[in-house]
């Protein structure tokens, strides 16, 4: 047991310290310190170009930071690789979802790690059975695990992508704008799914432009502006107006929750 655990402190799933990243003259990240804990939904919010996508690319091993370090399970890394990140339980559900349209649901959930029968044949029955169990647990309803994913709605595809992440033994699940281009009821189902992952003990990091959604699901809201983490709120201690103030840099805070401020910012 680590010192932190012995003292009864919560231990973050991932700890970032002084993460910096530039693209030529553009400073995308300017010294980010951030901890994400198991069992919480953490929303990362910020205006376009604030550095959100760059940060999750560093966490998922797609980009190397110029400076700083990442710690997981007591181990410190200068950078990760995509396969290293997956081994460490970090799984990212990207906007384009990276599903293979012509393959069925179960094949997408098991893509690249199909169970074998007699060391040779893909055990399709087992894939279907385990996919059904996983989707039932996640309360994702689809016509059948043998339906090609091209016939699924955006929300159902999101559900299949999450099932795939969990099947990869993901313990930290990252979402980049999960409800973009989704209808109201479909968004509601995806938000419920994300919330349930937090409740099941996953560390969840979600990027969203929709503050209503953020306030519905997040335990914690971190605001990033010009590559710096400018505020780390517990959701119950803030409101959309105040969050908008930190996103835009005006920090104006009327003390009231107003619809106009959200609409004005979006
Ligand atoms: N591959 C890249 N090459 C050059 N500049 C980039 C690249 N990726 C991001 N940037 C710049 O870094 C900054 C942060 O971008 P990004 O992380 O995509 O922001 P966000 O996701 O918050 O909108 C922006 O100024 C963006 O133009
Ligand atoms: Mg982005």
What digits encode the pLDDT tens for the residues 201-213? 999 999 998 999 9
- 200 in any annotated domain: yes
Phi, psi of 11, deg, nearest 5 = -105, 125
What is the residue range of 238's domain?
11-265
Look at residue 3 and tell me if it is in a domain.
Answer: no
Model confidence at 266: pLDDT above 60: no
49 lines ligand 1 (CB under 6 A): yes
pLDDT more than 90, % of the chain: 57
Q: Quote the tokens at residue 199.
A: 């409740």
**What pTM value is reported for the model?**
0.86
| Domain-located, residue 4 | no
1 inside domain: no
Residue 5 covered by a domain: no
Residue 239 within a domain = yes
Q: Does ligand 1 come within 6 angstroms of the Cβ of 208?
A: no
**Residue 187 CB less than 6 A away from ligand 1:** no
Distance (Å) from CA 26 to ligand 1 centroid: 8
Confirm or reject: Cβ of 28 under 6 Å from ligand 1.
Answer: yes
Please choose from 19, 20, 23, 208 the residue to mutate so as to test ligand 1's pocket, defined by most ligand atoms within 8 A of CB: 23
Ligand at shortest distance from the CA of 51: 1
- Is the per-residue pLDDT at 118 higher than 50? yes
Hey, whose CA ends up nearest to atom 6 of ligand 1? 23
Residue 207 lies in a domain: yes
pLDDT digits (tens, 9 = 90+) for 127-152: 999 999 989 988 888 899 999 999 98
Long-range contact pairs involving 157-160 (C-beta distance under 8 Å, separation at least 24): 157/97, 157/99, 158/93, 158/97, 158/190, 158/193, 159/135, 159/189, 159/190, 159/193, 160/99, 160/105, 160/108, 160/109, 160/135
**Predicted confidence band of residue 153 (pLDDT cuts 50, 70, 90):** confident
Residue of 43, 51, 223, 227 to mutate, ligand 1, most atoms within 8 A of C-beta = 51
For 27-53, the pLDDT digits (tens) are 999 999 999 999 999 999 999 999 999
Cβ count within 10 A of residue 40 = 21
Residue 171 has pLDDT above 50, yes or no: yes
- Residue 201 maps to which CATH number? 3.40.50.300
Is the shortest distance between the CB of 95 and ligand 1 below 6 Å?
no
| Domain total of the chain | 1
Count of other CB atoms within 10 angstroms of residue 159: 23
Query: From ligand 2's centre to the CA of 207, what distance in Å?
Result: 8
Ligand having the closest approach to the CA of 175: 2
CA of 64 to the centre of ligand 1 (A): 14
Average pLDDT over all residues of the chain = 87
pLDDT tens track for 47-91: 999 999 999 999 999 999 999 999 998 899 999 999 999 999 999
2 domain-assigned: no
Give yes or no for residue 250 having a pLDDT over 50: yes
Average pLDDT over residues 2-27: 84
Q: Which ligand sits closest to the CA of 26?
A: 1
Question: Of 67, 69, 96, whose CA–CA distance to 80 is shortest?
Answer: 69
């Amino acid at each position: 047991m680590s010192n932190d655990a012995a003292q009864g402190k919560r231990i973050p799933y991932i700890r970032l310290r002084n993460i910096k990243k530039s693209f030529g003259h553009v400073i995308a990240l300017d010294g980010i310190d951030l901890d994400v804990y198991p069992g919480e939904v953490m929303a990362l919010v910020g205006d376009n170009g604030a550095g959100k996508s760059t940060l999750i690319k560093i966490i998922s091993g797609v980009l190397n930071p110029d400076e700083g370090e990442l710690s997981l399970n007591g181990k410190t890394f200068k950078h990760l690789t995509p396969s290293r990140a997956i081994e460490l339980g970090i799984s990212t559900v990207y906007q384009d979802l990276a599903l293979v349209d012509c393959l069925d649901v179960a094949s997408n959930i098991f893509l690249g790690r199909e169970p074998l029968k007699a060391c040779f044949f893909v055990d399709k029955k087992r894939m279907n059975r385990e996919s059904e169990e996983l989707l039932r647990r996640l309360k994702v309803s689809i016509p059948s695990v043998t339906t090609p994913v091209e016939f699924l709605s955006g929300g159902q595809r999101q559900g299949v992508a999450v099932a795939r992440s969990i099947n990869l033994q993901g313990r930290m699940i990252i979402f980049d704008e999960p409800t973009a281009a989704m209808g109201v009821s479909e968004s509601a189902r995806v938000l419920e799914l994300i919330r349930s992952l937090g409740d099941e003990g996953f560390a969840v990091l979600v990027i969203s432009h929709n503050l209503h959604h953020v306030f519905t699901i997040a335990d914690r809201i971190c605001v990033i502006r010009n590559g710096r983490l400018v505020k780390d709120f517990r959701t119950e201690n803030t409101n959309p107006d105040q969050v908008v103030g930190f996103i835009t840099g005006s920090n104006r805070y009327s003390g009231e929750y107003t619809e106009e401020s959200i609409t004005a910012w979006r």
